[in-house]
Amino acid sequence: MATFKVTKGTPVAFRDSAYPTAYPSPHEGELFYNSSSGAFQFLGVGAGTWAAGGNMNSAKVALAGTGTNTAAVAFGGYGDDGLNETELYNGTAWTEVNNLNTARYGMSSLGTTNTAALSVSGNGPQDTVESWDGTNWTEIAEVNTGRYDATGFGTSTAGLFVGGASYSNAVETWNGASWTEIAEVNTGRTSLNSSGGSITNGMVFNGKTSSTAVTAVTEVWNGTSWTEVNDTNQARRNAGGSGISSADALAFGGTNLGASTRYNNTEIWNGTSWTETNNLATARNDVGSNGLSSQNALMYGGYSAPVVATTEEWNFAHPLKTIDVS
């Protein structure tokens, strides 16, 4: 508990410990005296940073996943060939669990937890879909048109399957039993990414629009139609993303058209514009990624010359600074 004293005319909280750094904090921007350390300290503005997580059991690219940075499921991908592997992450380590029925890579995912997810389509392209219940995969209703390198958002019972090869603008909606074609995106693309945790609120961004172009275009979905909004700062393809709505998202990594340049930059979407923030430790593309906000994300696997098994966790926190009053 804090008590307040006036120090040279300024009220300062006197505490027996530091303010917690967890984001968000009502004490952001406050100066206080920490009696346990005998120092004046300042709780800074919240910011996101990437930190190393546990390695996957095998290196892979073009995989997918759902969940948070402390409870995730990752599946499929490409190693020496298409993979049916599934791994669970607990915030520290990855554990191999029951495999997909059909090996695949370049598939999309729907879901917000590590216990309920869909693996949608994939290389071929195949039109098969599998549902994860936290233990096993079960084949369910197929999509109308198989598309690899597409994206998806929503839950395992209500979501959207968007875009994909070859520069598709197709969109299908899932109601828990069947797929239905609905309003198309304005810009057809493959190798795109998305944010959204419901069937009525989400967004797609970046991707490859032709054999000669990648895009920075962002589109938001309101449950009925698509609207173009402000572009990302970096045009890219095969990047990672996280977020649960059209008002809060994170874009990271990816590559240029010819894959000669890999990106480590990260951008935050606040519902109006994209802002560049702290970089990934390792630039990479064709990653697996998930997360429920711009404050919580997980990136794993991908291609960084060579294929990697490393994981990075994105967290928001308030920096705690000690003030030198000497």
Instruction: Return the structure tokens found at 240.
Output: 């990672």
| Residue 13 in this model has a pLDDT that exceeds 90 | no
Tens of pLDDT, residue by residue over 284-305, are 999 999 999 999 999 999 999 9
Q: Is 87 exposed, middle or buried (0-12, 13-18, 19+ CB in 10 A)?
A: buried
Taking CA atoms, 303 is separated from 34, 129, 262, 300, in Å, by 45, 25, 9, 10
Are 182 and 199 a contacting pair, CB within 8 Å? no
Residue 2 banded pLDDT, cuts 50, 70, 90: low
> What are the residue boundaries of the structural domains of the chain, listed by start?
3-45, 53-313
Tens of pLDDT, residue by residue over 137-178, are 999 999 999 999 999 999 999 999 999 999 999 999 999 999
Cis status, amide bond into 166, omega within 30 of 0: yes
Strand order in the sheet with 47-52: 47-52, 311-317, 296-300, 288-293
Q: What is the mean pLDDT of residues 32-59?
A: 92
Tens of pLDDT, residue by residue over 201-219, are 999 999 999 999 999 999 9
User: What is the architecture, at CATH level 2, of domain 53-313?
Assistant: 6 Propeller (2.120)
Q: What is the mean pLDDT of residues 242-255?
A: 96
What percent of the chain stands above pLDDT 90? 83
Residues 6+ apart with CB under 8 A from 307: 59, 60, 61, 79, 301
| Residue 318 in this model has a pLDDT that exceeds 90 | no
Structure confidence at residue 1 (pLDDT): 47
Structure confidence at residue 312 (pLDDT): 98
Structure confidence at residue 9 (pLDDT): 59
Q: What is the mean pLDDT of residues 126-143?
A: 98
Q: Give this prediction's pTM.
A: 0.90
User: 3-state secondary structure string, 245-286?
Assistant: ECCEEEEECCECCCCCCECCCEEEECCCCEEEECCCCCCCEC
